[in-house]
Amino acid sequence: MNITLVTVGKIKETYLRDALHEYKKRLTKYCHIKIIEVADEKVLENASEK
């Protein structure tokens, strides 16, 4: 089984990073986990208007 976790921006909170690391460590025995961090982009105020 493959699990891909996509996050927007860096995970800043240390408790979330620690939890993610712990879950990854525990689950690697049973499946392949890939974590992808996508760069956070600013959205223009009038992005919905065209």
Q: Is the pTM of this model over 0.75?
A: no
Mean pLDDT in runs of 10 for the chain (50 residues)?
A: 92 92 93 92 75
Which residue's entry shows tokens 């956070």? Answer: 40
Contacts of 5 (CB under 8 A, 6+ apart): 20, 33, 34, 35, 36
Quick one: pLDDT at residue 46? Answer: 76
CA separation for the pair 42, 34 (Å, rounded): 25
The C-alpha atoms of residue 25 and residue 17 are separated, in whole angstroms, by 12
